[in-house]
Chains A and B, each alone.
Chain A
Amino acid sequence: MEKIVNLLKKQITSTIIAILCGFIVVAILLTLTGYSPFEAFGILFNGIFSKPKYISQVIIKATPIILTGISVAFAFKVGLFNIGAEGQYIMGTIAATVAGILFDFPPVLQIPVVVLSGVCAGGIYGAIVGFLKAKYGIHEVITSIMLNWIAFYLGNFVVNTQRFHQPDSTGTYIINESGFTMFLYGWKRSEEGKAFLMEHPVLLDVILKTDVNFGIVFAIIVAVAVAILLKKTTKGYELRSVGFNKDAAEFAGIDVKKNILHAMLIAGAVAGLAGALTITGMSPHKISTMGTFENYGFNGMSVALIAGSSPIGCIFAGLLFAGLLYGGGSLQSAIGAPSEIINIMIGTIVFFVALTKIVPVLADKLVKRGEKHAR
């Protein structure tokens, strides 16, 4: 009995229940609309796991949303709702593209310059939100929503400036190759590399046909670093106290305003890093005119929620999210089921994540009732 209760109290259990519920709801919906759920899920899993190339694609697609997820999760821990990860991400892509085109240093210097430009742009953008909240008390949700749109139009503006716009396209020029962060980029295109890969079809599939890049390594490092910052440092303690109870934190001598500013700066920087790594690590290595938001930041919110705001959890939630999106892409062509079913599934999972917060409470009640009977 105690074992079950303890198991139920673990957050991972709630999350798994939520994911299962998502699958069940979607299965029901598919059945009602005349599709076979088993067939659909089969295609979904094939689309993720059947080839090494697919797995590699999922990891690549997961990288930016893991990072935006960490950004949102981190802000949550400080009691802030970073709906602006989208805008910070866009600022990251803009700054990285601009730096990547303007400069052409050797890779050792170029990569840090390009990536740091993105990080700084995102960080400053986040800090604006933090500043306005700390100084004028303006709700972070309003400023973030406004700044998202400003970043959106700024991106479209940069695309259309003469210096950056590539003629006869909807985008900018591609950044200089010295800024690429793909794994073995030079080698895989050399004669020797090609010859080697020809003999190893699995590697060929993964390395040559997808943009395998160092982004995921960055994402994991950031996840661990943020987790350590929050749990093991004085700064993290301050940040979490501000998130837990602002007034108590103030009373204990913690500078609430400064911590809000710092928190948004860091959250923005992480989202900016996501944008920068997308530019350096993935084709097309440039920004294009946007018609609507590309949702990297908004998807980050779902990732953070599925992960229960744990930075490490964001890695797995991001992989799950990317897997569903990527694997679900083939549903439409394979059985004609609208691929939006995946969005419904992700929505349902998030919905049940909200609901399953009740599981640990129920588990507690179970114990208490047990105690009563024992007496």
Chain B
Amino acid sequence: MLDNLFLLIGITLMYSTPLIFGGLGGMVSERSGVVNIGIEGMMTVGAATGVSVAYFTGNPWFGFLCAGLAGGLIALLHAIASITFKADQTISGIAINLMGSGISLFMCRLLFDGATHTPAVERKIPKLFGDTRITGVAKNLNVDLTVIFALVLAVVLWFVFYKTKWGLRIRAVGEHPAAADTLGINVALTRYVCVVISGVLAGFGGASVTLAIISQFSPTAISGQGFIALAAVIFGKWTPHGVYGACLLFGFAQALTIILGGGNFAVPSQILSMLPYVLTIIILILFVGRSVAPKASGVAYEKGAR
């Protein structure tokens, strides 16, 4: 029983980690007033870059960092479009998704002789207790280090957003850019920084799939996590703790699906697989209700406009 419980916790954490990175990334960007629907694409680029770099250098940490860098670079495109050119942020985000998966597979084919998936990396990101030979109860709790990073990240973001002046500035820019501007806050710069950070985090999220959970990139490595993360941002009402909780809940439902699937239940596996999604909708209906986006989210800031 206890074993199963720990297994449940272990799988929950494993599934939710990439979502937490992606979701927190999306939150940072949207809090500054830029809708980032391109999380999926940024995660895909991160997943492909992380594994490719780790494969050639043999160092998973370097791969992880480069994944963030690649995610940030793609996010920079989104920032240029939506901040400097004041383009429609939804359209630009969708374009990022299309380009992200295209570029990742294109790169993969060029680097690995036309294959759409990379070879497996030799060294993955280590586990919490290092050794994978640990047995007993602790075995199921021996989670990837990325799980810990995700938790730390959520705490740090909470602190930054609610306890520091930078956080206040970001929130001001997202709620009322004109007011923030009159107080001398550089709206464009703040938004640029936030969007790029969101890409870096999404890149980490992608790499936490390919460098910690599985050990290679394939066209289906990132399939929908970015969109679930997007849902978690709204679900979590644009707060770091809310997003973290929403992702955990989603990971928990996934874990439940897996554990129940292993038992002798008379429910077909496909129906069981719907559980996380149905559960999310039910919880939204019952508890969460209306969530209100940052006021200026999705609107380009026009100096002097009323």
Residues of A within 8 A of B109 (CB): 338, 340
Query: What would 21 A/B residue contacts be, using CB atoms closer than 8 Å?
Result: A137-B290, A141-B234, A142-B231, A142-B280, A145-B224, A145-B230, A146-B278, A153-B271, A156-B270, A160-B270, A293-B224, A340-B102, A340-B109, A344-B103, A345-B102, A347-B99, A348-B99, A350-B95, A351-B96, A351-B99, A355-B87
Complex: A302 Cα to B278 Cα, angstroms: 27
Contact across chains for A139 and B234 when beta carbons are under 8 A apart: yes
Complex: A33 Cα to B110 Cα, angstroms: 8
Contact across chains for B81 and A354 when beta carbons are under 8 A apart: yes
Interface centre among A83, A336, A355 (most CB of B within 10 A): A355
Complex: A147 Cα to B90 Cα, angstroms: 20
| Other A-B pairs, 13, CB within 8 Å; known A154-B270, A340-B105 | A132-B285, A142-B284, A146-B280, A149-B276, A153-B271, A302-B94, A302-B98, A341-B106, A346-B102, A351-B91, A354-B87, A358-B85, A358-B87
Residues of B within 8 A of A354 (CB): 81-82, 85, 87-88, 91-92, 95
Report B270-288 CB contacts with A as 1/0, cut-off 8 Å: 1101101110110011001
Contact across chains for A150 and B106 when beta carbons are under 8 A apart: no
Interface centre among A146, A345, A348 (most CB of B within 10 A): A146
Interface flag for B158 (CB, 8 Å): no
Residues of B within 8 A of A142 (CB): 231, 234-235, 280, 284
Contact across chains for B98 and A150 when beta carbons are under 8 A apart: no
Contact across chains for B280 and A292 when beta carbons are under 8 A apart: no
Interface flag for B227 (CB, 8 Å): yes
The answer to whether A353 and B91 touch (CB under 8 A), given A136-B289, A150-B274, A336-B114, is yes
Contact of A149 among B90, B102, B277 (CB under 8 A): B277
Chain A, Cβ-Cβ closest to B227: A145
Q: Which 10 A-B pairs have the closest CB atoms?
A: A347-B98, A343-B102, A347-B99, A137-B290, A351-B95, A344-B102, A354-B87, A157-B270, A350-B95, A354-B91
- Interface residue SS majority, chain B: helix
B interface residue numbers (CB < 8 A to A): 77, 81-82, 85-88, 90-92, 94-103, 105-106, 109-110, 114, 219-220, 223-224, 227-228, 230-231, 234-235, 268, 270-271, 273-274, 276-278, 280-281, 284-285, 288-291
Residues of A within 8 A of B97 (CB): 347
Interface flag for A305 (CB, 8 Å): yes
Contact across chains for B94 and A301 when beta carbons are under 8 A apart: yes
Expressed in whole angstroms, the minimum distance between the Cβ of B52 and any Cβ of chain A is 15
Contact of B274 among A83, A154, A305 (CB under 8 A): A154
The answer to whether A160 and B102 touch (CB under 8 A), given A137-B289, A137-B290, is no
Contact of A338 among B77, B110, B284 (CB under 8 A): B110
Residues of B within 8 A of A332 (CB): 114
Chain A, Cβ-Cβ closest to B286: A136
Residues of A within 8 A of B220 (CB): 291-292
Contact across chains for B231 and A146 when beta carbons are under 8 A apart: yes
Contact of B268 among A33, A157, A347 (CB under 8 A): A157
Expressed in whole angstroms, the minimum distance between the Cβ of A165 and any Cβ of chain B is 12
Interface flag for A188 (CB, 8 Å): no
Residues of A within 8 A of B101 (CB): 340, 343
Chain B, Cβ-Cβ closest to A350: B95
Residues of A within 8 A of B219 (CB): 292
